[in-house]
Amino acid sequence: MNDQCVYVTRPDLPPLEDFIPYLEEIWDSKILTNGGPFHHQLEKALCAYLGVEHIALFANGTLALVTALQALRVTGDVITTPYSFVATAHSLLWNGIKPVFVDIDPKTFNMDPAKIEVAITPQTTAILPVHCHGYSCDVDRIQRIADTYGLKVIYDAAHAFGVRDRGGSVLRHGDLSILSFHATKVFNTFEGGAIVCPDKKTKQRIDYLKNFGIADETTVIAPGINGKMNEIQAAMGVLQLRDVDEAIHCRGEVDSLYRQELDGVKGISIPEKPTTVRHNFSYFPILIEPHYPLSRDALYEKLKSKGIFTRRYFYPLITEYPMYRGLPSAHKGNLIMASDVASKALCLPIYPSLSIEQVNKIVSFLRE
């Protein structure tokens, strides 16, 4: 890491001195984990901030995904997207579930609901869509399909912290939604994650599962895992919540500046602004079209040579990795849009402390 370089993201951090009193409290109490006071405080504060009823915190988003599938006893085949971070599909394999990949909508990069319906078989038990880059999935159509065929829906909402549609938080949709609080996310607890649950009973089950299945000192009700968030992570979360609106606001300014400055640049297309009433500006993806003077990969390398570290999220597609490529649904002909988007996508740097000068520098390289 080099201060002269610009990265696709940088974690948002409070001033260190603001965190010291939280550490002192942890040192005094000697409660470091297993559902301590900061854990409790963060769950409550997140419910209030996000406008949801129940949240179970996790050590990271991947454990939250794995546990969500366990909690709903999902088995068999699950329909999901190839256009995501690999953790989405890995959570299925860790549960012995077969992923069935379907193509995406090239406008939102989210699963195309029309493709979901034709992929359903008697083995299908659930749908695992991703709100990619914080753009909401077509939640109404997905729910209609799930209701018609009796399927569960678990949203991988790792990118969708704070996103709201007309009815409230997008995290209320489906049976469960999963969040990631990784260092690279809009809201971070260094590492962290959560499951948004619809009711107390489901949260209770998830709380057991993330703590080895322990119900009390002498009772273990399920083969649970250790997915608990520790007190330092939770304290960081409580503090980070204080500044998250400001952070999202700053991200929004960067987004607007890119949109304004890149408008009309030949060979660059920008996904339309999302239709949600509140976006979180977690990523700024652009597509490098064939008539741009450089290929996407040549541009990526050129920017890197100038100290600008963009990312090709999500290239390669999940379906190109060895543990997935043998599946019938991983065939390229089944994933025409996803393959096309993966070959063109470039995520530009976006984070609250990115300056106007830095954005202008990136834009001028792209225009060159």
Q: Which is nearer to ligand T4K, 87 or 170 (CB)?
A: 87
Cis peptide upstream of residue 316 (ω within 30 degrees of 0): yes
Q: Distance (Å, rounded) from C-alpha 296 to C-alpha 169?
A: 34
Q: Distance (Å, rounded) from C-alpha 277 to C-alpha 301?
A: 36
Residue nearest to ligand T4K (CB): 61
Residue type, 260: Q
The span of 141-149, 178-186, 215-223, 265-273 binding ligand T4K (CB under 6 A) equals: 178-186
The span of 9-17, 21-29, 197-205, 265-273 binding ligand T4K (CB under 6 A) equals: 9-17
- Least distance from C-beta 33 to ligand T4K, angstroms? 17
* Residue found by looking up tokens 């996000």 in the block: 50
**Residues 62, 65, 71, 74: is their CA dihedral positive or negative?**
negative
List CB contacts of 33: < 8 A, sequence separation 6 or more: 39, 228, 229, 230, 231
**Residues 76, 173, 136, 116: is their CA dihedral positive or negative?**
positive
Q: Which is nearer to ligand T4K, 67 or 292 (CB)?
A: 67
- Least distance from C-beta 262 to ligand T4K, angstroms? 21
Verify binding: residue 130, ligand T4K, rule CB under 6 A: yes
- Least distance from C-beta 128 to ligand T4K, angstroms? 10
User: Among 6, 42, 56, 62, which residue interacts with ligand T4K (rule: CB under 6 A)?
Assistant: 62
Verify binding: residue 182, ligand T4K, rule CB under 6 A: yes
Nearest to 91 by CA among 161, 163, 193, 181: 193
User: Among 85, 258, 284, 315, which residue interacts with ligand T4K (rule: CB under 6 A)?
Assistant: 85
User: Among 12, 156, 175, 231, which residue interacts with ligand T4K (rule: CB under 6 A)?
Assistant: 156
Q: Distance (Å, rounded) from C-alpha 67 to C-alpha 56?
A: 11
Verify binding: residue 193, ligand T4K, rule CB under 6 A: yes
What count of residues does the chain have?
368
List CB contacts of 254: < 8 A, sequence separation 6 or more: 281, 284, 350, 351, 354, 359
Q: Which is nearer to ligand T4K, 87 or 292 (CB)?
A: 87
Residues found near ligand T4K in the complex (CB under 6 A): 7-11, 60-62, 84-85, 87-88, 130, 156, 158-159, 180, 182-184, 193, 309, 311, 313
